[in-house]
Amino acid sequence: MYIKAAFIIVGFTFLVFASVILGQIIKGKKLFEVVFFLVTYANINKIPFFDYFGAIKNDFVNMHTPLVLILIFFGATIFLKKYL
């Protein structure tokens, strides 16, 4: 029961960090809009790698991809803020 809520929180956090890192790299919002559209389209077509909010499978095994990407985006955000 709580795993579905955890997936929604992880998916939301993934989207926030993805928008921040892409905004810092490109200095605009257009790239994030395109990437978000493509990832959402892939999620609607049930491609498991792009399942960022647990719509296809919601178990702890499938939560690793968004969590790893969140950590990478968080580290890159801190790096870009500090050194750019």
Cβ proximity of 56 and 46 under 8 Å: yes
Going by pLDDT thresholds of 50, 70 and 90, the confidence category of residue 67 is: confident
Domain boundaries, the chain: 2-79
Cβ proximity of 76 and 21 under 8 Å: yes
Q: What is the pTM of this model?
A: 0.74
Cβ proximity of 53 and 7 under 8 Å: yes
What percent of the chain is predicted at pLDDT more than 70? 99
The pLDDT tens digits of the residues spanning 17-61 come to: 888 888 888 888 888 889 889 988 988 898 887 887 887 877 777
Three-class SS of residue 40? helix
Task: Average the pLDDT over 63-80 and give the result.
Answer: 86
